Structure 1
């Protein structure tokens, strides 16, 4: 699924493809915003971690789950 994260005082948003479900991402965001955790931690499809300070979050947008692409068509 595509996740877009807006960070305060940053000109660009963070965009990543995550293998986590929408519920997992939503619970991580709510934990960060409630003060349980000081960092929003997400993992992308390549295993890289994205850490964003919770007090700098502007918004988090969850996209549609992406379907696997099969075949040799143009991208």
Structure 2
């Protein structure tokens, strides 16, 4: 699943590919926002960790859980 994170005063968004469900990402975000001086932390599919202080978050866009169809647009 793709998660986009906007950081205040940064022009580009962070795009993180994670193995979590939308509900798990949202719960991580809720936990981070509830903590004093919280940080929002996600680990991507390659094991890299992204850490953003919640005071710097602009928005977090959580992609849809979807199965992707691979092909050339013919009938199935």
TM-score in terms of structure 2 length:
0.79
In structure 2, the CA distance between the partners of 1:32 and 1:8, relative to structure 1 (3 Å rule), is same
In the alignment, structure 2 segments of 5+ residues that lack a partner are none
1:44-65 CA-to-partner distances (Å, cap 9, x unmatched) read: 1111111001110110001122
Secondary structure (helix, strand or coil) at the match of 1:67 reads: coil
Q: Deviations over 1:16-59 (max 9, x none)?
A: 11001111110111112223561101011111111001110110
Q: Per the alignment, do residues 24 and 37 of structure 1 end up closer, same or farther by CA in structure 2, a change over 3 Å counting? A: farther
User: Which structure has the greater CA radius of gyration?
Assistant: 2
Q: Provide TM-score, normalisation by structure 1.
A: 0.80
* Alignment RMSD: 2.0
Range with greater deviation from structure 2 (26-35 or 8-17): 26-35
Matched residues, number: 72
Q: Which runs of 5+ in 1 are unaligned?
A: none
* 1:51 corresponds to: 51
Asked whether 1:31 is paired with 2:31, we answer yes
